[in-house]
Amino acid sequence: MTRFIVRRLLVMVALLFVITLITFLLFVVVLPNGNPAALIAGRLATPAEVHLISVRYGFDKPVYIQYLKTMANIFSAQAYSYQSGFNVVDEIRSGLPATLSLALGAGIIWLLTSIALGTLAAIRAGRYTDRVLTVLSMLGVSLPPFFLGAVLIYFVGYEWGVIPIGGFVSFTSSPWQWFLHMLAPWFTLSVLFIGFYSRVLRSTILDTINEDYVRTAYAKGLSERQVLVRHILRNSLIPIISLWGLDLAQVIGGGAILTESVFNLHGVGQLMRDSIGRLDTVTLMAGVILVALAVVLLGAIVDIVYAVLDPRIRLGA
């Protein structure tokens, strides 16, 4: 057991190293074509100015020293954007409440809704309800979040005036406003996953129903509902929960970007989007690294939890 955990953590560390390295190389070496000072200096700079900038920011040092310095800066929260001059990590930190509210809220919503809809579709397999739910879930996975968000903003926000047009209100300043502002973003983000998860759960349940132990449970005289909850759901939910953990990590990492931008939530994702427009490499790099870190970390935790729950995994079956 400990061997598995240790091994998994080592893999995680190696992955993190590779990710930071690749991101760094891409943004600092590949993008500016090897001369980041020229990028910062602008088009009309003289070679002397470019050289000054080069020395000031340390671009003339060898690549591996730059790498170490950059990593040190990012992790000690001392990285500053070349464009805005702001402390990058502080900016990211200020965007966290919005991103986390969105991701966690949506995560809970989609998990519960998928379980409900997936179970419903499985129980009524082949009949009208099931068909309708399947069509809806197909629609769900085909809708890009920013389009759905735009549609919601237009119809529900502008035309009907039911929900606010976007923006984020922190929970501490007004819980009710926070909730109102998060409703549409939560819905938008969840739709995609509900579509996918309810179908996965449906097929898992349908597979489980044919298992012998379910038949035994019925034979013992348990009611439909008892069998459903105690046996079928318990086993069907395991893959769903582990998928959920991984997807939650991915959402915090990337999926939230589109939804945040459309609803103007000023979270980490929107910060990333704005940085792309400005070509703010420092923010982009720091953001990508920190988010990828969180994703890999969460992924490792999920793997470990999954292994704890299912002995077949840790024994390498």
Partner 1 sequence: MATASAPGTEFSDGLDAGFAGDGGDLPPGIGPWTLAWRRLRRNRVALFFGAVFLLIVVMCLLAPLYSNDIAHVGPNFENITGTVNVGGKQEDVVSLIGIPIGPTWEFHHYFLGADENGRDVAVRLLYGGRNSLEIGAVATLLTMVLATLLGMLAGYFRGFTDGIISRGLDVIWAYPAVLLGITLGTVLAIRGLGPFKQGSLMVPAFVIGIVYIPYVARPIRAQVLTLREREFIDAARQQGLSHLQIMWSEILPNVASTIVVFVPLILANAILLEAGLTYLGAGVQPPAPSWGSMISEGIDTIPAAFHNVLVPGVMLVLAVLSVNIFGDGLRDALDPRAKVRIGQ
SS3 90: helix
Min dist CB 171 to partner 1, Å, is 25
Q: Output the smallest distance, CB 98 to partner 1, in A.
A: 17
* Residue pair 202/121 in contact by the 8 Å Cβ criterion: yes
Six-digit token string for 101:
């509210």
136 scored as a contact of partner 1 (CB under 8 A)? no
Smaller CB distance to partner 1: residue 237 or 247? 247
CA distance 127 to 74: 55
Closest to partner 1 by CB, 182 vs 295, is: 295
Min separation Cβ 48 and partner 1, Å: 25
3-state class (DSSP) for residue 8: helix
Cα separation, 237 vs 205, in Å, equals 9
Nearest-angstrom CA–CA distance, 173 and 242: 34
CA distance 209 to 227: 10
Which one among 56, 58, 112, 154 touches partner 1, defined by CB under 8 A?
A: 154
User: Angle 92-57-79 (CA atoms, 0-180°, nearest 5)?
Assistant: 15
Handedness of CA 33, 36, 37, 40 (dihedral sign): positive
Q: According to the binding rule CB under 8 A, does residue 235 interact with partner 1?
A: no
Residue with tokens 């986390």: 100
Residue 87 φ/ψ, nearest 5 degrees: -75, 120
Cβ proximity to partner 1, 202 vs 266, nearer residue: 202
> Out of 27, 110, 168, 193, which residue is the one contacting partner 1 (CB under 8 A)?
27
**b (16+ CB within 10 A) / e for 273-302:** ebbeeeebbbbbbbbbbbbbbebbebbbeb
CA distance 97 to 119: 33
Q: Among 42, 144, 167, 311, indicate the residue that binds partner 1 (CB under 8 A).
A: 144
Under DSSP, the state recorded for 26 is I
**Shortest distance in whole angstroms from residue 268 CB to partner 1:** 11
Find, among 313, 193, 187, the residue nearest to 259 by Cα.
Answer: 187
Instruction: Report the alpha-carbon angle 306-307-309, nearest 5.
Output: 65
Under rule CB under 8 A, residue 213 binds partner 1: no
Q: How many residues bind partner 1, per CB under 8 A?
A: 56
Interaction of residue 26 with partner 1, rule CB under 8 A: yes
CB of 200 to partner 1, least distance (A): 8
Instruction: Say how far apart CA 57 and CA 54 lie, in whole Å.
Output: 6
| Binding test (CB under 8 A) with partner 1, winner from 30, 55, 162, 238 | 30
301 binds partner 1 (CB under 8 A): no
Site string for partner 1, 170-209 (x = CB under 8 A): -----------------------------x--xx--xx--
The stretch near partner 1 (CB under 8 A) out of 88-96, 109-117, 236-244, 274-282 is 274-282
Query: Which is it for the CA torsion 132, 133, 134, 139, positive or negative?
Result: positive
92 touching partner 1, by CB under 8 A: no
Which part of the chain contacts partner 1 (CB under 8 A), choosing from 73-81, 84-92, 136-144, 231-239? 136-144
228 touches partner 1 by CB under 8 A: no
Residues that bind partner 1 (CB under 8 A): 11, 15, 18-19, 22-23, 26-27, 30-31, 33, 125, 131, 134-135, 138-139, 141-147, 150-151, 153-154, 158-159, 199, 202-203, 206-207, 249-250, 253-255, 257-258, 261-262, 272-273, 276-277, 279, 284, 288, 291-292, 295-296, 299
